[in-house]
Amino acid sequence: MKKISLVIFLFVFVKIAWASVIITEIMYAPNISENDGEWIELYNNETKEIDLSNCRINGYNFDDIVIEPFEYIVIARELIDGDDTDNESFECLYGNCDGYWNESDGNYRAIDGYFALSNKGGIINLTGENCSELVIYKPEIGALKNGRTLERNLKNNEWLESNVIGGTPGKENSIIFQNFVRIFVFINDTLPEIVNFSMSDDLEEDGIQIIPQKNRPLKINITLMDKNGFDDIDYVNVSLGETRSKLVLVKNISATIAIFSGELLISEVKPGYKNLTIIIADDGRILSYNVTIKFLEVIAIDVSKESLNFGVVNPGESVIKNLTISNLGNVELNVNIRYELSKEIYRYLESPVESVILAPNEEKTIIFRLITKEGCKEGRYYGRISFEYEIEE
């Protein structure tokens, strides 16, 4: 039985056993001046605020700040443009360049730092009373003078180049996985040869594994060799189940080698092994080639709210809030509901159900009732609601 846990910290959060404050994004080789464009993003992985006033980056101070629970902040080498002759800074690149960093520039906080990052790679060592994190970055990963950043995948701790120019300062990262598997096939000389085949692949394992999403386009590339040229090729088609698509010639590498490309939309998402068929018609002759791919079990839920905010509550009061959970996967899930909240403030936080069964694409609304204690002390309190889910056999 496959089992996965999604954690909702009154913000959406996947629980990972890392340090309280972690480095999540690095701009080490910007297109603009090195002194003006370097920055590092930090993330608070805890349900409490953390004072970073005693923290250092590679031994250098940065502006004092208290990072809120689940907050991203940016430490910029030059936040506001200085006395130099250019008009370059983090605020000019990511904000409105008015000489101040505030809400008119972005919905996240950024502060000044005092560090230097080498384009040849190096170490970023975050140290201090409330922080301890060490990251080694290398230009071989990417983001070298191309306007992109290095982003950390919070699922497996892998660093990859950002999918968007400028990166994603102050918010969740953009990286996704998109790998290619090549298959070489040699046919007799009387028919075109498929010398290279690649398509969308979601896992770095043998074979081709696809995370199925309805109407998701699968990118397919085929390199053909035809000693007679390509004028006599009638068509190149690919099919998966009832869905068919035509590949078109996009590039002639030589008189006998060309690349055909296209997209094939997924029409059904049930997990299991599927048969992808490639058909090449060459002057009335047919070459048929089959590729076995696997549609993976998609185990995922979505929550309608990023936080469950009970607002301002007087001691002894009862407050009701609700949120909706949806099954975004392709298998039926049994979802168990758990919660954690400071026992100092409540008599109980209850839900009418402890678990729900969700079919693929099904959603259900869960009601939560908070009853606070009499005499509860004034202050802000944080907690989390956890959804642990498994495949319903």
Average pLDDT, consecutive stretches of 10 residues, N- to C-terminus, the chain (393 residues): 45 48 95 87 91 94 93 94 79 92 92 93 94 93 94 88 94 66 40 83 84 87 87 90 92 92 89 90 85 86 82 84 86 84 63 79 85 80 81 75
* DSSP for residue 34: H
CATH architecture of the domain with residue range 179-295: Sandwich (2.60)
According to the model, what pLDDT value does residue 351 have?
61
Question: Domain ranges in the chain?
Answer: 15-161, 179-295, 301-391
According to the model, what pLDDT value does residue 36 have?
85
Half-sphere exposure of 117 (CA within 13 A, CB side): 34
pTM > 0.85: yes or no:
no
Q: Find the Cα–Cα–Cα–Cα dihedral 113, 114, 116, 121, rounded to 10°.
A: -50
CATH architecture of the domain with residue range 301-391: Sandwich (2.60)
From the CA atom positions of the chain, what is the Rg in Å?
A: 27
State both tokens at 145: 């003078």
Dist CA 176 CA 151 (whole Å): 10
Q: How far is CA 281 from the centre of its chain?
A: 40
Domains 179-295 and 301-391 share a fold: yes
Q: Quick check: 386 and 355 in contact, CB under 8 A?
A: no
Dist CA 293 CA 275 (whole Å): 6
For the domain spanning 15-161, the CATH number is 2.60.40
Q: Quick check: 5 and 386 in contact, CB under 8 A?
A: yes
According to the model, what pLDDT value does residue 186 have?
42
> At a CB cut-off of 8 Å and minimum separation 6, what does 320 contact?
367, 368, 369, 370
Query: What residue has token string 């100092």?
Result: 344
According to the model, what pLDDT value does residue 18 have?
58
Dist CA 42 CA 304 (whole Å): 26
According to the model, what pLDDT value does residue 345 have?
66
Exposed, middle or buried by CB within 10 Å (0-12, 13-18, 19+), for 97? Answer: middle
Q: How many residues does the chain have?
A: 393
